Amino acid sequence: MGGDSGSSPDRLTYPLPTSMNPYVGLVSSLRAAWLTGKTRTAEHRVSQLEALGRFLDDKKQPILDAMASDMRKPPFEVELSEIILVKNEVNYALNNLSTWMKDEGVDKNLVTQLDTAFIRKEPYGVVLIIGPWNYPLQLILVPLVGAIAAGNCVIIKPSEISSSTEKLVAEMLPSYLDKDCFAVVTGGPAETTQLLENKFDYIFFTGNPQVGKIVMAAAATHLTPLTLELGGKNPCYVADESDMQNVANRLVWGRCFNAGQTCVAPDYVLCSAETQEKLLPALRHAITQFFGPDPRESPDFARIISDKQFQRIRALLGSGRVAIGGQTDEKERYVVSDAPFPQPPRCWWTCSRQSLPCRRRSSGLSCPSSPCPTWTKPSPSSTAGSGRWSSGAPGAGADEQRRFWCQ
């Protein structure tokens, strides 16, 4: 479920002089704690996982309030995607930890016949987790569960863009965890740059590819293994025989969850021209059914995280002909539709394949989509390979124009 990280690629640079780095002492203290071996014991891992579960229970209301402040995220969405999902990870780790910690016997070969052969899972050491703004709790705490279960010490860097959630994590989470082994660092690109200058034993980054390249370059300096959870494109193919209303309901739910700010949300729809004509009214009906006649007043619809993201999404509206919605309210960071159906998403149709929305991953309701060219089946008497693709728009070349849906 990847999103943009809080650090801007044009402001994040690497490296800085070590003598200026304010995080050397913090990283060293966590490494010293790890070297004592205290995080390796099953008792310590269990106690920290249970403490993380208590944090989610005790601070449920502050979490709801923080995310309402950041992007007016509905309580149901917060509970589902930020709290329950993490609690499930905690419970799964607790239920399986003893099995994970056991040595795993392996078959012997000719060289190891006289040996005892097994795989023993060892913690990496000091781990850095850098989170994004779109799921600001889930995407730092789920990696944290794995890091704790594996016996590591961890530094957490939440996104500064979701500032209320960042403040909550920095002020409340440390009181539940072992302060010798876990720490939270706040700040923007400058702080992230300085943090990355230090040697870590593993880095887990969720964010955009531009910043991901910088994180990977920093990790390469120390040969640090890492996980990059980046964004991508998410096409949705709709077959002609599909139940259009059922498809529309799923598309609207997936695209509008978290106001579209989800890296795995449906990004665009591939379908025939005939299916397109059927799908549009079904989408309109689904939007009205989910969010009412005036979605602005719906408690179930979030807002775009920042003015910068709002401006980026609004700029995408010029990439094609708007079929549903299109008006914007900058003050609320909300997208409003034309009367009489004030729906938040936008549907484009017909757009150049080379346009920005069709090439770039989008996060937010203004997501591009690209349609399905038509396959003309060859006749029984035709030679093999005589079928052809034609574009979805009359008179347009296959590489020039595509019909597509976009929210």
| The one-letter amino acid at 354 | Q
C-alpha span between 317 and 141 (Å, rounded): 35
**Could you list the active site residues?**
229, 263
Are 287 and 336 within 8 A, CB to CB?
no
Q: Is the pLDDT of residue 400 over 60?
A: no
C-alpha span between 86 and 69 (Å, rounded): 21
pLDDT of residue 2: 55
Choice between 68 and 11, residue whose per-residue pLDDT is larger: 68
Q: Is the pLDDT of residue 14 over 70?
A: no
pLDDT of residue 311: 84
Strand blocks (E) in 287-354? 321-324, 327-329, 334-336, 347-349, 351-352
Mean pLDDT of the chain: 82
pLDDT of residue 5: 52
pLDDT confidence band for 281 (50 / 70 / 90): very high
Q: Is the pLDDT of residue 88 over 70?
A: yes
Q: Which stretch of 31-35, 81-85, 236-240, 268-272 has the lowest confidence by average pLDDT? A: 268-272
Structure tokens at 271: 């379908």
Average pLDDT over residues 291-306: 86
pLDDT confidence band for 205 (50 / 70 / 90): very high
Report pTM.
0.81
